[in-house]
Structure 1
Amino acid sequence: MESFVSYSKRLLNRMPRSKAETSSLPESSYSLGSSWVLDHITVEAPPGRPQAASNRFLPESFVSYLILFAAASTAAVTYGSAPVMAILLCSAIGLGAEAAFLSWRYGKVPAVREKRAMTESMKQLELEIAELGSELNELNAIKLSYMQVEEDTINDYVHRLGEAENRERQETEAVEKELRLRLGGLHGERQIIDKEEKTELSSILAAFQKAWLEEQLTKHRISQDKIPDIDDEMKRRLRAGGIRTPADFLDITINQSYGRKQIEKVYLILKNGGSVHVGMSRSQAKALIDWKRKIERRYRTKLPAALPRSEVSAVALRFKGRKTKVNDEEQMVKSEAQAKAAAIKQSYRPELEILTKEAEAARNRLDHELLGLDSKIDERNHQHTAKLREYQHLIKQKEAYGDDHFVTFLKRVFLFRA
């Protein structure tokens, strides 16, 4: 026992003293007024660093050496008198007790407890971060799947809507095509009527101009006008043949007969298609026809350019019935086409309205669901980011403790290293 006490004293003498003990001076060396202050001053370790290892682990060192000393003493006492197995067993018991004691004391070190608490917190954060990541992935997958389903639904509505509009357009175009064909036929019929009316007006105008010209020609008497080569005898013959004015004959023709002697006979062609021979010579015939043409040229520049209004109205009245019939038929065709187009539009309206409403409802539903999913995703992202920041902060705190592991603890216990 005395040897154990002496060993403990030597062990305590080997331990280094603290700076407060080695650097402090005797109280008597200070002035009387300040000596009482020094009694309350202690030297503290720098901030963020533990105190000297010799002060912190002194009990552990003492107990550890005591256990080792007891085990060694037991083995030495029993050496030679006890079996080898007993010695080994005592040594194993001593080492086990030492290991258990150091492990228990290592777990009680504040830095170790804090690091273990940080480790547990980090593990818990890793689980939460993993769960949040998994939840984010699941939410994104749900969002993509829902978007795909709803977009397929919307595309189906849009496709069906386009098909319905296409069918409506085709049926409407068929009605319009039939309308154009029927209107084209009526337009052709109207052109025929207009052409006939124009032709009739032209014919009536020509007859009116001819009658007017004949009326002007009747004002000139052959017997009163001076005509070259036409003497009074020839005028008498013409009057006897019923030709008194330029209007009484249309033209002059000369017939020649060949025999022993060439004979020429001049005939005046009458308005009724007949002819008359008055014994005129070729020169007289030419003089008479030139006189008539001269008078005609004088009045042709004064021919009336249009029919009287009464004549035009009479012609228009004769064609009015046919034109009215064509116009009425055209209006009827247009009305029928409009009714068919309206019926087609009315027949497709319910389907188009339903498809439009369903497509709009699908779009609104998609927007609403995406808004909710995006809100959840944003919330999970914020939580995930906060957990990551907390995890990074714990990593930095854990790194600040340095190399505080079990081997370092053993060195500080047995070798008194800081």
Structure 2
Amino acid sequence: MTDDTEQEDCAELCGDKFLKYSGIKLPDARNTSNNRERRSLAECQVDCSRDCSCVAYAQLNISGDGSGCLFYHADLIDIRTLASAGQDLYIRMAASEVKVNVASNGRNRRTRTIVIASITSVVFVCLILCYVYGRKTEKDPGMSQGLFSAAHVNDAELPFFSLPTVLKATDNFSIKNKLGEGGFGPVYMGVLEDGHEIAVKRLSKTSTQGVNELRNKVMLISKLQHRNLVRTLRFCAQGEEYMLIYEYMPNYSLDLTLFDQEKSRLFDWPKRFNIINGIAKGLLYLHQDSRSFAGNQTEAQTRRVVGTYGYMSPEYAMDGLFSVKSDVFSFGVLVLEIVSGNKNRGFLLKSHNLNLLEHAWSLYKEDSLRKLIDPCLDEAFDLGQVERAIHVGLLRNSRDISIDHSSNSSNPTASHNQLTITWTQGR
């Protein structure tokens, strides 16, 4: 028996009927294979029919020209119907199921009447539910689709990306393109048709942040331009999908290097100090030159606290009070993490139950700041420069303008600091 005969037998055994679903987001790309050779849709169907493990297929090219096939070999996860755009997915059906569907067309008129009546009832119930849901969303401004009206888009000064463009760039949010996940949602790496690499931050349905926060981000960061700030290139708001598109950073996030035992050994003090310096310059731009606050506005209050625990100032986390001091607090935490190589959240020593900030204060009062320095630096650093950086980190929650070296007061609980940092480059 030839290989072709065996493949045809396999196709006959598995069933070679496929049901077409249109206008959907393709399933998660795990457990898939692909053929990137130029192939027609019919050829994709033949290939999937001959593979007993293939449960569905789609074309890689959503423009319709046919540039390859995508095959699914396991459960289809995260399929959703999109209000607009979307792609076609062809799902394998057993021959017996197809025969049942055909036979059902020959049932008597009474059966048809019952089915039609049932469908009509279901549709009627769905219409009622949609009406109730619509009335509910009208009362909830956070769910309003008008959050990105034409006026908002014009004010944002950011180009708009269509959902199909983002889907194609990220390979339908493939798990292999996922860079990480934060409070806003997952972040994916993508490649545009012109070869430009991007990072797509997608709002998660379980995120503590909402559409209002996304709109505020778009309105604010679209006006920020600084070499030390990651540039926001575009945004996407279509259907239930809300995304921010950033420039892609090939070195990934700082924490992936800083808190890795092996990678951190290559992270010497000059590099760390340069990062601290760069963050300080970016922060100075945000506070003084970007006009994030009005000229006479120094602080504000919010009813919804959004941020990463471990970096939020106490007055913001507990009472929603935020100002430039809130950012200085977060900056100080980050400086101590860079110096020590330890993450503030989850920091624990067997000798005590202090977090990283409390531990740093304890060492400062004992005049033992050297113990805070990351052992990976192997004494290859300027101690005076490192200690000045630690002092800046401690100032982030000091009640006074400067640290009193003779003070033995308890650790402050709020960031009531007024801090000016002047960095000088060494010769």
| TM-score under structure 2 length normalisation | 0.14
The structure with the largest alpha-carbon Rg is: 1
Structure having the larger proportion of residues in helix: 1
Higher RCO (CA < 8 A, seq sep 6+): 1
Structure having the larger proportion of residues in strand: 2
| TM-score under structure 1 length normalisation | 0.14
